Structure 1
Amino acid sequence: MRSFLRAPLAVLAMLGMTASPVAAEKMLLSNSLNICQENSSFQASLFNVVYTPANNSASVTVEATSTVAGQVKFDIEASAYGYTFLRTTLDPCELKIQGLCPMVSDKLSFGFNVPVGDEAAANIPGIAYQVPDLDASIRVRINLTSTGESIACVEADISNGKTVNLVGVKWATAVIAGLALVSSAVINGLGHSNTAAHVAANSLSLFSFFQSQAIIGLTGVRLPPIVAAWTEDFQWSMGIIRVGFIQTIATWYQRATGGTPSTIFDSLSTVSVEVQKRSLQVARVGLYLAKRTVEKLPTTGLTLFKRGNITNGSGSYVVFGIQRVAFEAGIESTNLFLTGLIFFWLFGLFTAGAVVAFKGFLELLAKRRLIKADRFEDFRNGWVTVLKGILFRVCLIGFPQMVILCLWEFTQRDSAAEVLLAVVFFFGLLFTLCYGAFKVIRLARRSIAMHRNPAFILYSDPQALNKWGFLYVQFRASAYYFIIPILFYTLIKGMFVALAQHSGVTQAISLIIIEAGLLIAGSVLRPWMDKSTNSINIAISAVNFINAIFLFIFTNVIDVPQLVVGVVGVVLFVLNAVMALVLLLMVIISTILNLIRKNPDARYQFMSDDRASFMKSQSQLNATTELDALAATARGDKLGYKGGFDNESVESSDIRKNNEASASYSISATESQNSFYPGGHAPNAAIPLFPPAQRGASPLRESVVNPQASGASLAQQRTHTASPASGHRSQHNASPWQRGAGYDH
């Protein structure tokens, strides 16, 4: 009989949720006990159990409060991934535990070791020791022996010490993403703009995918353990990184500005932390008891439990959503906003310092003649503008992070100064990116009005390209506007994640709608620069949409079997792990090939918008050649080309003259072309100014190779291209002018 009663304790030892990723010894453990019944008469504020099959013993430590007096029995039910594999009954009198036989109405504090026999250990499935982030739990109902009435219900989660939340994965993903962004800047400095655009676009797509994984963990949905652990691997992309001295600074700042820091990590020896999991019934009961408990607490009793944080009926600390991520990262919830803000600042400062140091290093090498004088010449001459563009790119990368953390801080109000910082950074970043998007649209519309092609000014002006190019280079020229839907998507998604923490169902439904909208828009418009980039981003959008559906399943509002919820959690992990691996390998291989090739631009076809025809270095623009004069005339610049189309100092009269000159040139060109087409109507012309002889070629590019080409020879090329001998394009074929503008996507 005694060996039979040890079986439940062996299962009871399979409780827990925190784990060591390098646990060498087999074990099953638990650190918390959750309530699964209203009006529970047994409440545990501390519960630690560790079972080690090597020595067949279980160590139990409990601090609880009981309002029951009398003989009781425990009905025990253990399950894994929703499948119940053990049901049994335990009589505490058989174990002779003081305070439980009979149960007394008092505060209970006890700890003991229980030997577990081989027969009891055999009831535990072997897979329980191998699967990382085991999704298993045990439920104990306390029934009166005399009447059989259930007076209490508690539930604990099981862990085996293995997890997919690994430090190595965090470092690997962060280093690869960072090196890819740096390599794109280096490749661009070497003059391979086409390659740099592809590398930068792929790097941003990879980074956005990492952030989308992190956002899954920030939602208030109760995630399966393997999903919650997987999302922890990518929280670094949201600035959620624990560093000891930064936590000290954040705590000091909050106290200095009138806030009250939480002290949950200082209280783990007396208070358990309940990380809400997938059980909807347990969650509802816990929230009900938490609300009732908090209403009864005095205001001074909330030092440990800050606004937005709650305790359940047993006094355990309840964390979910953003607070869950902070707890798993070892960060006090009241320090989370400042932690993310500090790392955003450090990222920007480190990037700016690296650019300045690289500029100084190049000048030193050039002074000592260790590199050619024209090496990185464009960067050395316009490094200030390049630095501005890089910092704007940092703002774009950190926008999802700051939207969520700033809006969440509005609900927490850790201190008045922190709320002020949240206001400044939220609206500051939003205004900066919206202003940049407005400038891009203004430049593109001016280019369309003057040259009938948005790519001309966007890519021919080095100042605009280096400063605002981060907003549009990843898109084709005719889809320059797509940055606005991307910013709106990020803002709305961040608002639901930050402001709807207490309603996982609301978050899941809203994310389904938001992700579906982006997936449909991307699939229909295909706005990115080429087919491969479109495929990558559409695939990422599809995975994000599937993840949103999985989140809705995790809420369990449709009452699916718990086994289905557990299986879906494993599927989500496998799907996203495969996607992350594919993106990482793609970025690594592509970056390495681009760095070792002498001419990496040969790996990529020229963009359909013919942007390479318009890109000219600053040194080329300063050269006074016949080609510059011809290009100035084509642009309508009376006094020649002057960099900086977005310069606000341009006089309105000069702009009007340029527009008149451009319009005059367009009319004369149209009249000369009308004679070659039936009905006297030429096709809708889109810049390049002269239609290319073949796809990917441009007379402007040919003129760079042969600077001796005169305006007359170029005119002959234009006449020859438009001559009847060259044949008329069919009615349904895309015009070469439209192909050059990127409208064939």
Structure 2
Amino acid sequence: MWLSTIKSVALLSGLATLVPGAIAAEPMLTSNSLNNCQEDSQFTASLFQVVYTPNNNTAYLNIVATSSVEGKVNFDVDISAYGYKIIETTIDPCKIGLAGLCPMTAGKIPLKFNLPVGEAAASQIPSIAYNFPDLDATVRVTLTMVDTKKSVACVEADISNGKTVNLVAVKWVLAIIAGLVLCSSAIINGLGHSNAAAHIASGALSLFSFFQAQAMLGLTAIHLPPVVQSWTQDFQWSMGIINVDFMQDIFTWYQRATGGTPSTIFDSLKTVSVQVEKRALSALPDTAVDLYRRSAALLPRGASSLMKRGNVMTGSGSYLVYGIQRVAFRAGIETTNLFMTGLTFFCLFVVVTIGAVAAFKGFCELAVKQKWMKGDTFLEFRNGWLTVLKGILFRLTLIGYPQMAILCLWEFTQNDSPAEVVLAVFFIVGMTATLGWAASKVIRIARRSVAMHRNPAYILFSDPQALNKWGFLYVQFRASAYYFIIPVLGYSLVKAMFLAFAQGSSTAQAIGFLLIEAAALITASVLRPWMDKSTNSFNIAIFCVNFVNAIFLLIFSDVFNQPPLVNGVIGLILFFLNAIFATILLLMVIISTALVFYRKNPDGRYQFMADDRTSFMKSQSQLTGTTELDALAATARGDKAGYKHGLDLDDDNESISSAELRRRTDTSNLAVPTRAPSNPYGRSNSNPPHSPVDPSVPLFPAAGGPPRAPSPYNGSGAPLQQQHSGSPPSYRQQNNAR
């Protein structure tokens, strides 16, 4: 009977013929769990394994079932694929000769045998059934007494063909591309091309945030179609969920040593089935939820604690995983080791980055000493590499904040061990305080710049120490939107709270995600805070896709009581939409980064920012070839107004991260402007000084055009003789800070 249902389901998978599948080395159809779909079901299975291989037309069955049914029964079989019911049929086990099921007897029924399949039955299965990835097919069997026509049991099995879009190669490719782009932005910035580096870094961070948003979809407790579960699993590496066998053994030992009780789901797979939920607990019928609760109440203390941590044990003795536990199970990680896994990989990421930066510093010094490269190459990095390193660590904290916020908050609900709870408190409080402190520093610096120079970009981009240490928080935004990092951090924290604390309510998560993503999309579309039009379009497109995904989550939560077919179709739409969009984002980032390395002046590929930040930066490539523009840039940066770069501009002596770099302001280092007379230009001319450059002559005259006025600066940057007697050289200095 079970084989008949499996074959029938495979037949229905032909609905997906529009999508080509990969050819399998060993085609098969499998099912690994038998789920109850009736509260008082009198037939349950703690172990259910069925594998059908068409090459030898044989099905292998390994079932451990418990039955309280006595007498002859009929099997009413409903078969559906992607939510579409195709076949409804009734099977008499006595007619097909199923031993032990005709008639059924009460007690434990172990069934383990190979069953040959006829050629006629095998020929009904289309080849697409073995090739389409993440086949969403279900068989529901209702046991009905022959004499009374009463339903005594209901079981449901999910069918898979072993093909999936959850591929290790995809994970490695995505991780390598994201890492290379981030490293490229750092190298380009070290070479002095700050404008190009800012654009590449912004694109890389936005791409990584999209990867994390995809991973968060899989962490929700909402029912997700198989293809969506597998697709989101491709991005779980961005949350630090990576399975390494020897590390899992260490985490299990650590948990036991610190007073915890590790889960042992994978050790019991040979005797107990694990159900990857078809509906979240909140979407199940109340009677089914009550059944789980009553069965857990009868378990010993250790098993009850497992249910408290999300590993629900059903009345048949099998486990049910959903939400974050579902992701851990699919990754091959014990649910009680998930927090330590994410935490460890985040720490390793930080340590490896520190080592790489230190090694690169040593290599640069050696290369300069051996004359392998010019002495001014990476000069700013070599002189202030500790400040740059601190900025990189802050950037890593920002990248890892969504991951650690989710895992730390979720650990509070799991209490895997007292030591792990302490680690969760330390990291969530420490990272939140660090990023909050950094954001407040940026806001104070920007406000001071506005008060002194009427432009937040002046100090934010003119001081190398401020730019290298705090620039990760505001470089991707326009100067007037320096505050936008606060909404970004709030957005990450609120999403983490919904993921961690609402695992028991899929509806709450779905509605919460919808409201959060709607607010984020509206805010980004109205404020458009990023540095230029293309960057705004890039990020707003990401928020649009996230909002559409939130709508799909609401549909998956069954809040509209829609037919199962809707969920199946929406699941395919979500997969194709996000796969196509992710591919486009990857191509855009890769092409943009590659083109930068092939240009002599990478900054020239991007338009200058409207906030005039490039005039305040000390860039080696922004203003090339004209002494007039060099002089204007120096004046804009304030080099002629007595401003000393390197000073701490926020005068915060309580800094928790940069006390060793802070210098007290010395009045001898600052040019104090004297009070200007009421009319410093004489009685005959009370107008401000005119520009030494004739405005009637274009900045870059065409060939044969009139020569422009001589530069007011010589080669060393010192002012030459002013062309207008009414324009004293002190005018810019006196008005520079106003």
- Name the TM-score class by shorter chain: 0.7 to 0.9
Q: Match of 1:648?
A: 652
> Is residue 99 from structure 1 mapped to residue 103 from structure 2 by the alignment?
no
Q: Is the counterpart of residue 128 in structure 1 residue 129 in structure 2?
A: yes
Q: Higher helix fraction: Structure 1 or Structure 2?
A: 1
Matched, 1:441 2:443: yes
Identify which of 315, 325, 328 aligns with 1:326: 328
- Secondary structure (helix, strand or coil) at the match of 1:266 reads helix
Alpha-carbon distance change, 310 to 648 in structure 1, aligned in 2, over 3 angstroms:
same
| SS across alignment from 2:48 | strand
Counterpart of 2:144 in structure 1 is 143
Are 2:615 and 2:636, in contact at CA under 8 Å, matched by a contact in 1? Answer: no
CA distance in 1, matches of 2:201, 2:598: 17
Aligned residue for 2:7? 10
1:565 is aligned to 2:567: yes
Would you say the 8 A contact 1:226–1:573 is kept in 2? yes
- Where does the alignment leave 5 or more consecutive residues of structure 1 unmatched? 678-690, 697-701, 723-745
Q: Distance in 2 between matches of 1:714 and 1:319?
A: 81
Is the 2:24–2:130 Cα contact (8 Å) retained in structure 1?
A: no
The 3 A distance-change label for structure 1 pair 78 and 284 is: farther
**Equivalent position of 1:269 in the other structure:** 270
Asked if 2 retains the 8 angstrom alpha-carbon contact of 1:181 and 1:200, the reply is yes
State the alpha-carbon separation in 1 of the partners of residues 154 and 610 from structure 2. Answer: 66
Give, in whole Å, the separation in 2 of the partners of 1:518 and 1:557: 23
Report the CA distance shift for 1:48/1:169 in structure 2 as closer, same or farther (over 3 A).
Answer: same
**Equivalences for 1:675-694 in 2 at 5 Å?**
none
CA contact (8 A) 1:458 1:465 kept: yes
**Contact 1:9-1:58 at 8 Å conserved across structures:** no
Alignment of 1:195-344 (within 5 A): 195-278=196-279, 286-302=288-304, 305=307, 307-344=309-346
Q: 1:720-745, CA deviations, whole angstroms, 9 ceiling, x for partnerless residues?
A: xx9xxxxxxxxxxxxxxxxxxxxxxx
Q: Distance in 2 between matches of 1:412 and 1:107?
A: 34
Range with bigger deviation, 522-531 or 111-120:
111-120
Separation in 1, partners of 2:56, 2:559: 43
Q: Is the CA contact (8 Å cut-off) linking 2:75 and 2:144 kept in structure 1?
A: yes
Question: Is the 2:84–2:565 Cα contact (8 Å) retained in structure 1?
Answer: yes
Residues 31 and 159, structure 2, Cα contact 8 Å, conserved in 1: yes
- Alpha-carbon distance in 1 for matches of 2:98, 2:571: 39
Bigger drift between 296-305 and 64-73 goes to: 296-305
Q: CA deviation at 1:221?
A: 0.4
Note if 1:177 corresponds to 2:178. yes
Partner of 1:494: 496
Paired residues of 2:10 and 2:126 also in contact (CA < 8 A): no
Residue 508 of structure 2: which of 506, 509, 513 is its match? 506
- TM-score, normalization by structure 1: 0.86
When residues 128 and 61 of structure 1 are mapped into structure 2, their CA distance, relative to the original with a 3 A threshold, is same
81-90 vs 416-425, greater mean Cα deviation:
81-90
Distance 1:694 1:410 in 2: 66
The 3-state SS of whatever aligns with 2:88 is strand
**Structure 1 residue 564, shift from structure 2 partner:** 1.3
What is the CA–CA distance in structure 1 between the aligned matches of 2:678 and 2:566, rounded to whole Å?
67
Flag the 1:606–1:86 CA change in 2: closer, same or farther, 3 A: same
| Matched residue, 2:518 | 516
The separation in 1 between residues aligned to 2:682 and 2:219, in whole angstroms, is 61
Partner of 1:48: 49
Name the count of aligned residue pairs.
690
Displacement of 1:57: 2.2
Q: Which residue of 1 aligns with 2:193?
A: 192
The secondary structure found in structure 1 opposite 2:268 is coil
The CA distance in 2 between the partners of 1:239 and 1:670, in whole Å, is 66
Percent identical among aligned pairs is: 59
* Offset at residue 563 of structure 1 (A): 1.2
Q: Deviations over 1:457-511 (max 9, x none)?
A: 0000100000000000000000000000000000001100111011111111111
Which residues in structure 2 correspond to 1:19-38 (within 5 Å)?
23-38=24-39
Residue of structure 2 equivalent to 1:729: none
Amino acid at match of 1:411: T
1:742 corresponding residue in structure 2: none
| Aligned AA (1:464) | A
Compared with structure 1, are the counterparts of its residues 71 and 647 closer, same or farther at alpha carbon in structure 2 (3 Å cutoff)?
same
Q: Following the alignment from structure 2 to structure 1, what is the Cα–Cα distance between the partners of residues 82 and 204?
A: 36
Give CA deviations for 1:670-712 in whole Å, capped at 9, x if unaligned.
999x9879xxxxxxxxxxxxx999999xxxxx98995435287
Query: Contact conserved, 1:197 with 1:474, CA < 8 A, in 2?
Result: yes
* Aligned equivalents of 1:321, 1:667: Cα separation in 2: 73
CA root-mean-square deviation: 3.6
Give yes or no for contact 2:143–2:152 (8 Å, CA) kept in 1.
yes
In 1, distance between residues paired with 2:58 and 2:642? 87
CA deviation digits over 1:230-255, x for unaligned, max 9?
Answer: 00000000000001121111111101
Return the offset for 1:539.
Answer: 0.1
1:596 Cα offset (Å): 2.3
Give the match for residue 472 of structure 1: 474
CA distance in 1, matches of 2:613, 2:205: 20
Task: Return the offset for 1:28.
Answer: 1.1
Q: CA deviation at 1:35?
A: 1.0
Confirm whether residue 710 of structure 1 aligns to residue 719 of structure 2.
yes
Aligned counterparts, 1:388-537, within 5 A = 388-537=390-539
Output the amino acid matched with 1:263.
T
Maintained 8 Å contact 1:626/1:710? no
Secondary structure of the residue aligned to 1:380 is: helix
- Which one-letter code corresponds to 1:446 in the other structure? R
Q: Are the structure 2 counterparts of residues 258 and 21 from structure 1 closer, same or farther at C-alpha, using a change threshold of 3 Å?
A: farther
Equivalent residue, structure 1, for 2:540: 538
- Deviating more after overlay: 273-282 vs 126-135: 273-282
| Segment of structure 1 superposing worse, 642-651 or 179-188 | 642-651
Tell me what 2:587 maps to: 585
**1:644 counterpart letter in structure 2:** D
Match of 2:658 in 1: none
